[in-house]
Amino acid sequence: MAVSFIILAAGMGSRMNSDTPKVLHHVGAAPLLHHALTAARALEPSRIVVVTGHEAAQVAKSAEAFDPSVECVLQEPQLGTAHAVDMAAPLLADFAGDVIVLYGDTPFIRPETLQAMRDARAHHSVVVLGFEAKDPGRYGRLVVSGDDLERIVEYKDSTDEERLITLCNSGVLCASAKLIFELISKVENDNEAQEYYLTDLPALARAQDLSAGVVTCDESETLGVNTRQQLAEAEAAFQSRARSDALENGVTLTAPETVFFALDTHIGRDAIIGPNVIFGTAVTIESGAEIKGFCHLEGCHVSRGAIVGPFARLRPGAELAEDVHVGNFVEIKNAILDEGVKVGHLTYIGDADIGEFTNIGAGTVTCNYDGVMKHRTRIGKRAFIGSSTMLVAPVTVGNDALTASGSVITENVPDEALALGRAKQVNKPGLATKLMARLKSIKAAKGSS
């Protein structure tokens, strides 16, 4: 049966003490909302609807940037979780499959857990995700009888006996689209907040002689983010899981606790990651590559056998082919480095195409920006770029060409040519000592005044 998702992302998150909507705060270099969207998309859903509210335009823009097929709907005013889900009813009026309700501030629900909820629908009309809480606190309790969920009782409405229950409600729920919206139409707001709550659905289903059931997950999956403290805890939990996953998948982390991953970091097995490496978004490291210590990578692709670092930075658009070597204090941005290219140290390569087996000397800069527009540098195969060469783009250096150290290259260099772009050196005998003496006397005069 087909599945669609409704992700609730309307809340302000006032306890975050922030101008940023709660679901747009980052964990793993990505908004909390993107974590929920990632879990949903793993089940190949027919539709994903995000319910927005506070700063709706920002939230919708973020959701659609992640996946243009996401549909957004506004909840205004905000009258509870059932009311929020009901806002998606017009968009899912023609959908005949199951719907799973997720929360934009709960980033760790695993796709396997969501699939288990779908599987449980073979036995129950409504399926709720629960967890055994170490400290149940003020969580809603799940009252069960055998395999059946009788009702969800909120802490403030529970009896002393019910408060002893440790099986708690995560808020995540699954049912057919038709049934969800039918039951929501019967939800009442006779509570202190005068809001319509999704937690009423299991009891309403039971009142119609329909079955409700529970799927359980580890409590860590249900971690919600409502405060800065919880945001920090979520980041730590995400990094711990990402490191464990990398190690289990055959990646070597020489100092795991110092490596920081993004939500969409992809690393092949037998890759080696040194200490204090930070991955921003959209990074792919192929099998057998090595990232040495103290590197920062974002928006880049590193191929098999390549070596990066230490102390290197790869910025968006950096594409490193097999066996490329990028050394210490090198920055690469929006550039393609073909097989076997070497950029050893102290160099900036931006907006460039570098041919295979070319060597870039220390202190080289592709001067790609004229103050208004970016321009591209193209270097052919097997070229040798001497140390401290300034390549003033747009410029092309041919195959097997060479630039002399200290050159400023402003014109194209043909294949196999040697380019020299230095000013003529002039030596003035004895002038160095005279100049130094004059400067020292000026300094002394200023000190005595």
Give me the active site residues, please: 345
d(CA 56, CA 75): 9
The beta strands (E) that lie in 24-125 are given as 26-27, 30-31, 48-52, 71-74, 98-103
CB 413 within 8 A of CB 392: no
Q: 340, 359 in Cβ contact below 8 A?
A: no
Q: Per the structure block, which two tokens stand in for 205? A: 């289903």
How far apart are alpha carbons 39 and 109 in whole angstroms?
7
Q: How many CB atoms lie within 10 A of CB 275?
A: 16
Strands 272-273 and 212-217: unpaired
User: Contact, 157 vs 43, CB < 8 A?
Assistant: no
* Residues in CB range of 137: below 8 A, 6 or more apart: 155
Helix (H) or strand (E) holding 145: strand 141-145
